[in-house]
Chains A and B, each alone.
Chain A
């Protein structure tokens, strides 16, 4: 385990093994002392000087009294969701487009059929009405007017 901790210090530990090392750190405090000794050795070799002794022990006591922080994972979650959400959106878009395409061609036909039937009934009714009332426009055909309301669909 110590050799793995040493590899972690160099960023050479397989990410899957990092969790294993951290679990060991929770169970064995001497591993933190090892890490501190190695870090002190590194600082000295690099000419950084000698860190204050006993610092991390004092810090750990203060840290224990601190509430555990849990950061919202919005960035990572968004990144992780980005691809599936994009794919889902694309699929949904294609689905809606297809539905609209077929829906768009069927719906006017149905509406026209309905309109034709209504027009025929209306024409017969008006013709009969005009004749009975002595209407001067008896012989004239019925003018058809169409209205389209935008955005109904």
Chain B
């Protein structure tokens, strides 16, 4: 099968959502939630505000979906909505967007969003570190064939066809290995994410 880009996948889901399928849009929301949050963290300071603005961003995107014609990538269009939503949000509160780097006085040294973690409390910071450590441990403990398959897919972004060629196995086997690796990671990740969820104000 010809390798499809992330843009193709997004476009497929966008077309489904534009045909009235809300579930297809939810898949896109999950896919881009983290990246929108990171973007917003450069404009909005407070973690709970980031969440509110991110929610509003996706709702606005959904309402504007009929106007999206696929001339740009979905995430480009989405990021534009996120920035406008953040600006409007701050304007209604008489504030203006302030980049974290402006305070640091050095815009190019590191990724700005890295300096602005979503969770500012020590508890959530600890939880996040624990989650990242756990995921890395799970990947390390996977059988070789699962670890290699998921690494080539998630970190290198290779297609199933390329991974099959590297691992010298059928494409169907690659698909199965990646799925099993995901399941193994998710099994350890889910309780931790649920725990983080109970820490939140909502």
CA distance A55 to B176 in the complex (A): 29
Q: Is the CB of B186 within 8 A of A32?
A: no
Min Cβ gap B54→A in Å is 7
Question: Is B65 engaged at the interface, CB distance under 8 Å to the other chain?
Answer: yes
User: What would 15 more interface pairs be, CB under 8 Å, given A36-B30, A73-B18?
Assistant: A2-B179, A12-B175, A14-B1, A22-B21, A35-B27, A39-B30, A43-B34, A44-B132, A50-B127, A54-B202, A66-B59, A66-B62, A69-B18, A69-B62, A71-B67
Partner of B135, one of A34, A41, A60: A41
CB<8 Å pairs between A and B, sample of 5:
A11-B5, A50-B127, A52-B37, A56-B33, A70-B19
Query: Number of residue pairs across A and B with beta carbons under 8 Å?
Result: 175
Q: Which residue of A lies closest to B193 (CB)?
A: A53
**Which A residue's beta carbon lies closest to that of B128?**
A50
Q: Does A138 count as interface, using CB distance less than 8 angstroms?
A: no
Contacts of A48 in B (CB 8 A): 34-35, 38
- Contact between chains at B4 and A11 (CB < 8 Å): yes
Chain A residues whose C-beta falls within 8 Å of the C-beta of B62 in the assembled complex: 63, 66, 69
B-facing residues in A68-106 (Cβ within 8 Å): 68-73, 75-76
B193, A40: Cβ atoms closer than 8 Å: yes
Q: Does A18 contact B (CB under 8 A)?
A: yes
Query: What CA separation (Å) do A130 and B131 show in the bound complex?
Result: 118
Q: Is A37 an interface residue (CB 8 A)?
A: yes
The number of residues on chain B lying at the interface, defined by a beta carbon within 8 Å of a beta carbon of chain A, is: 74
Q: Tell whether B112 is near chain A: CB-to-CB under 8 Å.
A: no
**Number of chain A residues whose Cβ lies closer than 8 Å to a Cβ of chain B:** 53
**Interface of A, helix, strand, loop or mixed by DSSP:** helix
B202 and A6 within 8 A (CB):
no
Once bound together, how far apart are the Cα atoms of A26 and B16, in whole Å?
13
Residue among B3, B47, B139, B179 facing the most chain A CB atoms (10 A cut-off):
B179
Mark each residue of chain B from 98 to 132: 1 if its CB lies under 8 Å from any CB of chain A, else 0. 00000000000000000001100000000110011
Cβ of A46 under 8 Å from chain B? yes
Q: Smallest CB–CB gap between A76 and chain B, Å? A: 8
Tell yes or no: B25 within 8 A of A by CB: yes
Q: Is there a chain B Cβ closer than 8 Å to A8's Cβ?
A: yes
**B69 is an interface residue with CB less than 8 A from chain A:** yes
Q: Which residues of B contact A55 (CB under 8 A)?
A: 29, 33, 51, 54-55
Q: Which one of A10, A32, A45 contacts B23 once the chains associate, using CB atoms below 8 Å?
A: A32
Chain A residues near B197 (CB-CB < 8 A): 53-54
Q: Is the CB of B55 within 8 A of A62?
A: yes
Please measure, in the bound complex, the distance between the C-alpha atom of A41 and the C-alpha atom of B134, giving whole angstroms: 10
A32 touches B154 (CB 8 A): no
CB pair A11 B8 closer than 8 Å: yes
A3 CB–B CB distance under 8 Å: yes
Supposing A12-B175, A22-B21, A51-B33 touch, asked if A59 and B66 sit within 8 A by C-beta, the answer is: no
Give Cα A14 to B9, complex, Å: 11
CB neighbours of B20 from chain A (8 A) = 68-70
Cα–Cα, bound, A66→B160 (Å) = 37
Q: Which of A17-37 contact B (CB under 8 A)?
A: 18, 22, 25-26, 32-37
